[in-house]
Structure 1
Amino acid sequence: MTVTAPERAASTVPGGPSTSTSATVRGMWRGGRGMVLFGLVVIVLAALTALVTGTSTEGRRLDPADATLTGSRALAEILGRRGIRVERVSTVEDVVRLDGPGTQLLVSSTAYLGDDDITTLSRTRADRMIVGTVPGLSTLAPGITASGQASVRSREPRCDLPAAVRAGSAFTGGGALTVPARSIGCYPGADGPSLVRSFGTPTVTVVADGAFMTNQRLAEDGNAALAINLAGAKPVLIWLVPEESRAVPGAGHASAGDLVPAGVPWAVLQLGVALLVVAFWRGRRLGPVVVERMPVVVRAAETVEGRGRLYRARRARDRASATLRAASAARLAPRLGLSGDATPDEIIAATALRTGQDAGWVRSVMYGPIPADDAGLVALAGHLDTLERQVREP
């Protein structure tokens, strides 16, 4: 039976009722230990003050010096190892200083740039790579505009651009772009391509979304190859990361934090401290819960590995493949809007329609023959995982 510490701490005085020895905060204060509670309140107050006034540790998206999931430090290091000199700059003046025929300018944000800055960038001789449908896109990439929205997922290039053809499928989307004359579009969606390259002087490349360049996505599909082919087209890459301090007053780019009145954080802080004080005052200090130890604890990973070894020892590729396919079909059916008793033909048709894959290939993966060897079983697992990932991310 599981009991709590207060139940064990209760003592019974002969001839009288049982009395709990669990102390309350009020009892601690009366007992001369109020200074301990006061010290705790001061520590909590100091911690909350540090949280309110401290700087944010979140990374900046597509920053070549940022090692978080949304940064692009991995791409910058790969380019450096391939002989590409990556120059991270934060001002338009630095871009002009490094500008030249053997350079390429990468712009992923113009939120802190004014109209004059964008005009200056459009006059540089360097080739330009614009990531995202940023403000000022029509100036930096004449003729290329946003024409719609598209989900970000794994897509095939379906174009003749060598940089995209060599990379293959990539995690792209985020928007659709127009394709002006002397241009080529890749990775199309329903409303248009998500990558457009305009051949001129200079060459301008626009990608609707830069998720494939982040540290989180770089190792997936052909993302690394596409990012290297696009960003490493010239010996010098000028990577512009505008600083927040360069925000233009009245430009309309204030963040949500800038719109909050200065007294609001302190009011929230005072309410938090008051809530903690009330919680300590009304709370009751409980001891640790007494639990019974389980005789045996088996990790789920060990169970899966053990079953896999049994399948392999008996060469039961038929049961293993049937289990993988049944589990995949059970997970796909609700995501496709089908009931639990959907027929194989219904699941195949819905999966092919959602993913764009050939229905015959989907049938061979989900209901095909038993793999002939272990390598075929591993390949089958990979194909099933690909189908589920494409259904999850339409």
Structure 2
Amino acid sequence: MSTQTVVGSTLTERWRVLRWVLLALAAIAAVAVLSTLLTSPRSGGPLDPGSTSADGTHALIALLRERGVTVVEAASIADVEREAREDTLLVAAQTFHLFDEDLLDRLADVPGDRLLIAPIGRTREALAPRLRRDDVTEYAGLRPGCDLREATRAGTVQFGIAETYDATGPVRVTRCYDGALARYTDDGRTVTVVGSDGFVTNSQLLQEGNAALAMNLAGTHPRMIWFAPQFSESDGAPGGAALPDLIPRQVYWLVLQLALAVVLLAWWRGRRVGPLVAEQLPVVVRASETVEGRGRLYRSRRARDVAAEALRTATRQRLLPRLGLNHAASPAAITQAVADRCGLDPQAVAHSLYGPAPADDTELVNLARALDDIERQVAQS
């Protein structure tokens, strides 16, 4: 048999083995990718009913459907107008794309009751004209404080930061949670406004009373339309709002004042301290000379207590990792660990590590030797 035949047979056998290994690796990679795609969270915008991220509302929508509520996920105003009926609740969740005047006017003409979640001024004025913004407060475990059935059944709710509302005129408004939840009836239509959107999101739905209140408010009708627009339908037409349009004018003045204050403070401190000067060190000092200089300073001041405490502290810091202890260990625990490790008398170890200050230089030298001996025995044990 020739050498070429032997080499060819060997390569063929190796390729057959390698082929199965590559196929197995490819199958494992395919299964891993498929599992990742199937189990990974579905991303989306804020209050998106199909999003499983922290600020999505997929969990609430799933709970409402399990409860028997027919949920219509409207992606556009055309979907809302097509699905809206007198017996259907319209839930309008405020997003960055719910600002267009034409969109709000069309929503105002949709029949049925309304539930507005964290509406801004323009949305509230168009869809809940009988309410005005009252205040902004941070709530933590607030009680209902009203006789509204949806709120009393939910009990205490964790809203976070929420706006509060009050009536704009002679209309009877039911205010719960100090005004963070307001409801009124006008021309046969019930309008409910909640000043926070955190209680309906996936991340905060499990907090105290949040799920109950969200389901009670959104599940009052057998059929519900969830409208949280994730894209702008204005296509740049007048009335569409960009992000700068959403910032109140007072914020710009506040930022300008803060910037001016920072500039004035920097100018004042700069004149007081003077210009920065870059200086190089005149000489490089070795670590050994630094230690000797500090020792002479301690000796000139007869600061044997300070020197002894510095030696003991340094020794304990080096011993702790070797003993498997942390910096929160008590003196008794450190002493016992050293005694068990080296077979020494615990009282002698405690005297060396935590004893009184030396009375003279001889005792200080003996303490340094004792600490060095303890550290050496622990390292060698």
Greater fraction helix: 2
| Larger radius of gyration between Structure 1 and Structure 2 | 2
Greater RCO, 1 or 2 (C-alpha within 8 Å, sep 6+): 1
